[in-house]
């Protein structure tokens, strides 16, 4: 293919106005929904081939989430596309304003491998709903999913406006050299920096969905019900989403020393209940994406500083790219497992004297994508909200924020720039253009030279919304102040 020529054709197609039509947007979303339904088994096979995902996990985390997002967009598209009235100052009589959403144009979406279908199509839903032409580059690491998207998706949607381009880093670099009206990237912070650097050349707006080390704070919950509920939610939110290969997965736990042994025993019990005595034989936990990431995780475990902190799990099977769900207690904070994003089924527990100390611990590190806090202490919850900074914060559960169409999903600082999901996806790919209309029948006469203190006084009153004072000055009932320069 000739990339430059194809991009020019896509720009011309966008300028034709076709993608701005509500009927076009709805049709593409409906066809995307049909793709998910009709290719469901193919998607399951691709995700299993790439990551060993069970089809129930694949539906829960990808297909089902996408169906929900498409339905939400179709239900709300008319409202999202409509202009919104904007209020003007009272002095601007016979003036009217509105805010009109318009598509950005030709956009690039670069997705990640861990949710290779979901993270490709979720931003695409927003880009289509907003009326853009789109180039989608799936991750080459999830080759089966990438091939499925490249070969099957064009038969469902408008291939003049939406193209899927496969390839590795060289293709990605070539794409980033082109001029785009928006770049949406999901992946590592390291590559995110490269995307941001490339975008500077054309001053291209970007959304970066990155990651980081998401902490979970575990208070010393009193009732056995609360403890078990918290532990089950921690397990499914650490080992459940793609074997921990998820930016929103819990990275490490912060817990009071006195609760540590209880927590570890509960983790052991419920890991076995969910994944069996031999998780290697379970089909309910995904595999590691490739040998590179397997070796990276294996090296984290084999670190001499870390080995003695393993209290559960730790076995590996390179032939099947399997790493057992592993629990560690107090690995050295300078070890790689506590300085790098883990992105795998390894769960360090860091003990604290007081659970309140978790706030300082979190604040001493880069801002995370999410903070999870399992606590019924309302004062601690208020402190967590006001004294920490993160992309989002969730109390007494984890990961559930990702599926909420009414909430923005995104990071802050090193964990990301911008947000999406639901209306926020539409906004991520739109420019909200102010439109002002003015009548010739009225005039703000004092905005024109020559200048004097009388006009200065009127400006001061207008900018302070003191319309009564302005009227008094105009009627001569209030003398303007003199300004000496």
Catalytically active residues, by annotation: 209, 247
Instruction: Report CA torsion sign: 330, 335, 340, 342.
Output: negative
**DSSP 8-state code for residue 204:** -
* C-alpha to C-alpha distance for 189 and 205, rounded to whole angstroms: 17
DSSP state of 219: -
End-to-end Cα spacing for the chain: 67
Give one DSSP letter per residue of 130-192, joined into a string.
TT-EEEEE--TTSHHHHHHHHHHGGGTS-TTTEEE----HHHHHHHHTS--SEEEEES-HHHH
Angstrom distance (rounded) from CA 137 to CA 154 = 13
Residue 446 DSSP code = G
Do residues 214 and 365 lie in contact, with contact meaning Cβ atoms separated by under 8 Å? no
Q: How far is Cα 439 from Cα 135, in angstroms, rounded to an integer?
A: 43
User: CA 420, 424, 429, 433: dihedral to nearest 10 degrees?
Assistant: -150
Q: How far apart are CA 168 and CA 143, in angstroms?
A: 10
* Pairing mode of beta strands 316-317, 133-137: unpaired
Half-sphere exposure of 468 (CA within 13 A, CB side): 0
Dihedrals φ, ψ of 435, to 5°? -125, 125
Cis peptide bond N-terminal to 450, omega within 30: yes
- 298, 300, 305, 310: CA torsion to nearest 10: -70
CA distances from 202 to 82, 181, 197, 198 (A): 30, 9, 10, 8
* Core vs surface per residue 66-79: b (16+ CB within 10 A) or e: bbebbebbbeebee
| Residue with tokens 């207690």, as numbered in its chain | 329
Query: By C-alpha distance, which of 353, 417, 39, 46 is closest to 209?
Result: 417
| Interatomic CA distance for residues 274 and 285, integer angstroms | 10
The span from the CA of 232 to the CA of 284, in Å, is 15
């Amino acid at each position: 293919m000739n990339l430059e020529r194809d991009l020019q054709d896509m720009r011309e197609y966008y300028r034709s106005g076709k993608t701005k039509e509500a009927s076009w947007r709805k049709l593409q979303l409906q066809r995307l929904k049909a793709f998910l339904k009709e290719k469901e088994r193919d998607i399951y096979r691709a995700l299993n081939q790439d990551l060993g995902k069970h089809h129930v996990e694949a539906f829960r985390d990808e297909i089902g989430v996408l169906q929900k997002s498409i339905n939400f967009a179709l239900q709300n598209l008319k409202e999202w596309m409509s202009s919104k009235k904007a209020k003007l100052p009272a002095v601007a009589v016979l003036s009217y304003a509105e805010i009109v959403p318009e598509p950005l144009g030709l956009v690039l979406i670069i997705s990640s491998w861990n949710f290779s279908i979901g993270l490709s199509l979720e931003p695409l839903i927003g880009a289509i709903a907003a009326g853009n032409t789109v180039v989608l580059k799936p991750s080459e690491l999830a080759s089966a999913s990438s091939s499925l998207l490249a070969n099957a998706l064009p038969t469902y949607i408008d291939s003049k406006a939406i193209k899927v381009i496969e390839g590795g880093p060289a293709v990605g670099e070539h794409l980033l050299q082109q001029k785009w009206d928006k770049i949406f990237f999901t992946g590592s912070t390291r590559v995110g920096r490269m995307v941001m650097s490339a975008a500077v050349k054309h001053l291209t707006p970007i959304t970066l969905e990155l990651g980081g080390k998401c902490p979970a704070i575990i208070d010393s919950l009193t009732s056995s019900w609360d403890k078990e509920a918290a532990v089950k939610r921690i397990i499914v939110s650490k080992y459940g989403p793609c074997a921990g290969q998820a930016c929103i997965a819990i990275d490490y736990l912060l817990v009071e020393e006195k609760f540590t042994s209880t927590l570890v025993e509960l983790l052991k019990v419920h890991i076995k209940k969910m994944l069996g005595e031999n998780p290697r034989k379970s089909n309910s936990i995904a595999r590691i994406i490739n040998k590179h990431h397997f070796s990276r995780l294996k090296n984290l475990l084999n670190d001499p500083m870390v080995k003695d902190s393993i209290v559960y799990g730790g076995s590996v099977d390179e032939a099947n790219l399997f790493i057992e769900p592993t629990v560690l207690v107090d690995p050295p904070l300078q070890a790689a497992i506590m300085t790098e994003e883990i992105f795998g089924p390894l769960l360090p527990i860091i003990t604290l004297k007081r659970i309140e100390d978790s706030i300082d611990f979190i604040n001493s590190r880069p801002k995370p994508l999410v903070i999870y806090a399992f606590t019924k202490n309302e004062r601690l919850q208020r402190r967590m909200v006001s004294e920490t900074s993160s992309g989002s914060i969730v109390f007494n559960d984890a990961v559930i924020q990702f599926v909420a169409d009414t909430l923005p999903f995104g990071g802050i600082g090193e964990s990301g720039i911008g947000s999406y999901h639901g209306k926020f996806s539409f906004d991520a790919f739109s420019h909200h253009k102010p439109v002002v209309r003015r009548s010739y029948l009225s005039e703000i006469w004092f905005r024109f030279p020559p200048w004097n203190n009388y006009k200065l006084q009127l400006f001061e009153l207008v900018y302070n919304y003191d319309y009564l004072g302005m009227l008094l000055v105009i009627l001569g009932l209030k003398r303007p102040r003199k300004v000496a320069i």
